[in-house]
Each structure stands twice: as structure tokens, then as C-alpha cells.
Amino acid sequence: MPPESETTLAKPLQAKDFLKPRIFTYLPDEGLQGENIPSHVLWDNMKVESVLISFRPPLKIKDVFNAESWDVRDTTIVIDKLEVEGYVGLSFESNKVSDLEVTVPVEYLIKLPNGDIIKEVKKVRLFRPQLELTVPTTSVSIDASTGFIKGRIRAKNVGRGTLVMRISAAEDSSIKLETPPEHREFVERFMSDLQIEMSKLAEEFPVFKPYWDEMLIWDKKEFMELSAEERSKFMQYLINLASLLAGDKKLLQGFVEAYAKAFAKNTELIETVRRVISVYESLVAKDILLLNPLDEVILSDKEGELVLEISQTDRVLGIYDDVKLPRIKLASSQGIRVPAYKLFEWG
């Protein structure tokens, strides 16, 4: 009797249906380039002699579960001895590639003791965001009275997935970017109060203490400058923290409240409104998150030269090249402070 896939079971269900040989393979349909892609094969009421799985780059095997012996040759894994019957688990790494979207077929060949081979093919579409920047002119003018900016830089996410970006001024830029002092003060006060709240939480929940200690270490590092290894460690840290919080409702409540308390201590009503505005303004375009929407370009004279640099990443902290924009001349009728994101026309 040929094995059935789970979707072809006869209905209404009968007990005997569950005694039939069944095979089920899983692979997500889509994924972000750079994230881990899991897969598994489950079977029931039958014996399997070996499982052969073929795939293509940018997938790369990371882990095989429940295999006593297995062999990887380039893009093929042969599992010829299982530890426990009925299951093979896989975890693939996916690398970021130049194509914005790539579809990778994964072929599962399941060999039965009688020599029959069952073939299943699944596909995963791997995508990524891509920032497209266009500088239409190197002369940008700002109307000091209306705030109108002529000659804005065009920015658009032409890929898929969220692009996280930061705008900064290059070292050789005569005009600098600055975080408004009141925001800097808020950050300092907030962090100091958050530290107090989190220390209390770590005392109440000793299991949380190493997580909080680690968070302080990560907080001191510049996010966009982390190496690939550090990014991977940081992602794992975030997963572990989420898991810790998911495991203890009281700790989760305490964690959320610690932020709320530190926020409330430092925030007057007017500050709350400011923050809503800043969230809104950081949502510069669909699928682009700007990390520093409050940073301002300071034009102290009527004109100056500005060289902007964009650092970028995605939801799995993938490494993307920094982009240095051409030098632009900024002119206004008077000295002015302008939020840096306003120099862009977001697509």
C-alpha cells in the first residue's frame, strides 16, 4: 500500500485511517534571507531505510536531528541510520544573496526497505529588503520659513521585508548630525531609572540577573557595528530572553512594568506626545524603520556641505554594506536645524 500524505486522508475519519502508512514533510513556504529554515519528515505505520535530502544554496545544513549516522555532500544529506523510527529533523541556514528573491527547491527521497522510493519536493522562497537611494541633485535648499526642502534624496525599499536603517554624517562632512539635547537627557534619565527597576527585578527573580547583566553589555555596543558573530550571539540572546519571559508570567509582567515605570518617571504628558510623534516619524515608509528619527542636521551658516552615510540591517541583523552618499551642498536663508529624515523623499 503506498504511503499517504497527511492531506489526502479519507474523510470522515476512521480509526483504520490512522493505521495506514503516512508521510509528512514540512518546509516553510517563505523566509527572510539569513534566517534559519527548519524542516522535518514524519512518518507513521511504516519503516524507512534511508532519507536523502537535496537542496541548493543559499541553503546550508546547520543541524540534523534524530540521525545516528548521516553524510553531507555539498548539497545532499544522506541519513542512513536513524536513532528513533518515524522522524528526521533538519535546520538549514540561509545566506543573504545578491538576488532579492530566490526560490530554493528541497527534494526529499525516502527509501523504503523494499527498495521503493517516495519523492516529495517542497520549495522555500527566500527574500530580503533592499534600499534604493537616488540623489537627484547635489544642491539642496531649505526654505527656513516653510520648511520646504528642494532636491530631496529619494529612498525606497525595493525588496521585501523590513529594512532597519540609521542616517549619520560621514567623518569628512562639514555639517554634522546631532541628537537633540532634551532627547539625550531623556535617554540618560530613562536608562538610569530602568537600571534601578531592572536591578530590583533581578533581585526578585535571580534567574533574570544574567540576562539583565548581558543586556547592559549589549546596550553599550553600537548596534550597526556588531560583527556577524556578535549579531548571531545577540539574536540568540533575544531568543533566550523571550523564552525566559514566556516561561514566567510574573517575570514577564515585572519586565514590562519596569520599562513602563522608568518611562513614566521621566515622562510628562507633553513628552508622551513627543514620543508618539517620534514613532510616527520613524515610520518613514512602508517596510523601512529609521532608528534615529530625531537626529537633526545643523546648518549653522546659510550654507554648508553634507556627506551622509546610511547603515542598514534587517530583522535578523543581516550585514549590509554602509552607503556613503555624494557630497551635497545645503543652503538656506538662515541657519537652521532640520530632522535628517526630512532630507529624504521616502518611497
Partner 1 sequence: MEKELAKSLFKVAEYVYKIWEKIPRTKILNQEITINVPESIVVYNLAVSIPSSFRSIRSPIEISAPSIIRLSASSLHPFPRTVREATREVVYPGGHKTYALFPEFLPPECDLISLTTSYQIDDPSLLDDLVDREKGHEPSGAERNEYWMHAQLKHPKVLHDFGFGRFDLNDVDVTVDVGVHNELKATLPPPFISRLKTFFSVMAERDPRRQHLALPKLRQLAKEKTAGREFKILVDLEGLFMPGTFSKYVEVFKDFRYSDCYKGKECYELPIEIIPKKVNVISRADLTLEKPAAQGTLIYKNNLLIEAIRDIISSSGS
Scan for cell 515605570, then name that residue: 261
Count of CA atoms in the C-beta half-sphere (13 A) of 145: 1
Q: Which is nearer to partner 1, 190 or 195 (CB)?
A: 190
8 A C-beta contact, residue 306 and residue 330: yes
Nearest distance in Å: CB 36, partner 1: 5
User: 154 has which bridge partners?
Assistant: 134, 345
Nearest distance in Å: CB 115, partner 1: 27
Nearest distance in Å: CB 195, partner 1: 14
Instruction: Determine phi and psi for 105, rounding to 5 degrees.
Output: -80, 140
Instruction: Determine phi and psi for 161, rounding to 5 degrees.
Output: 105, 165
Nearest distance in Å: CB 35, partner 1: 5
Nearest distance in Å: CB 69, partner 1: 13
Nearest distance in Å: CB 291, partner 1: 6
Instruction: Determine phi and psi for 318, rounding to 5 degrees.
Output: -60, 150
Count of CA atoms in the C-beta half-sphere (13 A) of 50: 11
Q: Which is nearer to partner 1, 9 or 174 (CB)?
A: 9
Q: Which is nearer to partner 1, 203 or 219 (CB)?
A: 219
8 A C-beta contact, residue 207 and residue 244: yes
Query: Would you list the DSSP string of 274-330?
Result: HHHHHHHHH--BTTEEES-TT-EEEE-SSEEEE-EEEEEE-TT------EEPPPEEE
Q: Which is nearer to partner 1, 156 or 160 (CB)?
A: 160
Q: Which is nearer to partner 1, 285 or 319 (CB)?
A: 285
Q: Which is nearer to partner 1, 24 or 138 (CB)?
A: 24
